[in-house]
Amino acid sequence: MKQIKIAPSMLSADFAKFGEEVALTTASGADLLHLDVMDGSFVKNISFGPKFIKEARPYSKAVFDAHLMIVNPWNYIERFAEAGADIITVHYEACKDRLKDTLKAIKSLGVKCGAVINPDTDVSAIKDVIEECDMLLLMSVFPGFGGQKFIPEVLPKIEEAARLIESTEKNIDLEIDGGITLENVKAVKDAGANVIVAGSTVFKEKDRAAIIRALREV
């Protein structure tokens, strides 16, 4: 069994005191900090860019997991790498036939890389790039906003992605993002996900350490 890692989505944090939020979430036991970058074009929401991440970087030694929901991500990967991202994930839907080259470009910057697919994209879409990936990210909501409801049809896709990863015999993380709660986290782990993103579930609780622990242990 792979180690379970919890990745609070900082999209649900208080942006007015982002540094403190990053520090507190790290001290509360987060393994990764999931950083949702949205451009108002690939998704219908705008969040933050590299400057925001760069200025948050000194507040935490946790893994900075930048989830790019932007068009033409290859134009920005260098800036996110410079800003201090430890892993950069890009969408198949934004890259299409440039996905493999984009993943390689991320790695050439000395940063880990991953491919992301939306709930309505088949796992087969990223079959050819799996060997390049340090992580695969499956969306369990349509990207754009925190606080949406988990789409249960994604569960068999997690199993399929886990089998695909196993077939490589490489140590590739399988991350799940969107609508994760204490009620459904066991199902996603049982299906094979080991990196658990949770935004609203973590940030609606006063005791962040307790909810992170609970998500890990359920």
Decide the pairing of beta strands 135-139 and 173-177: parallel
Cβ 66 to Zn ion shortest distance, Å: 9
User: Applying CB under 6 A, which of residues 141, 155, 185, 212 lies at the interface with ligand DX5?
Assistant: 141
Residues found in the chain: 218
Say whether residue 93 binds Zn ion (CB under 5 A): no
In the shown chain, the binding pattern of residues 70 to 109 toward ligand DX5, with x for contact by CB under 6 A and - for none, equals: ----------------------------------------
Residue selected from 123, 188, 198, 212 as contacting ligand DX5 according to rule CB under 6 A = 198
Say whether 129 sits in a helix, a strand or coil: helix
Q: Exposed e or buried b for every residue in 85-120, given b needs 16+ CB within 10 A?
A: bbbbbbbbbbbeeebbebbebbeeeebbbbbbbbbe
Helix (H, G, I), strand (E, B) or coil at 59: helix
Picked from ligand DX5, Zn ion, none, the partner binding residue 32 (CB below 5 to 8 A depending on kind) is none
| Residue number closest to Zn ion, CB atom | 67
Q: Does 197 bind ligand DX5 (CB under 6 A)?
A: yes
The single residue listed with the structure tokens 């990745």 is 7
Interaction residues for ligand DX5, span 4-23 (CB under 6 A): 9, 11-12
Catalytic residue list: 36, 177
Distance of closest approach, residue 206 Cβ to ligand DX5, in angstroms: 17
Q: Give the alpha-carbon dihedral of 49, 179, 23, 109, to 10 degrees.
A: -40
Bridge-partner residues for 195, per DSSP? 5, 175
Give the Å distances, CA to CA, from 56 to 18, 62, 84, 164, 199.
Answer: 7, 11, 9, 35, 17
Applying CB under 5 A, does 175 fall inside the site for Zn ion? no
Sole binder of ligand DX5 in the list 13, 21, 25, 36 (CB under 6 A): 36
Q: Give yes or no for residue 192 binding ligand DX5 (CB under 6 A).
A: no
Q: Which residues bind ligand DX5 (CB under 6 A)?
A: 9, 11-12, 34, 36, 67, 141, 143-148, 177-180, 197-201
Give residues in contact with Zn ion (CB under 5 A). Answer: 36, 67, 177
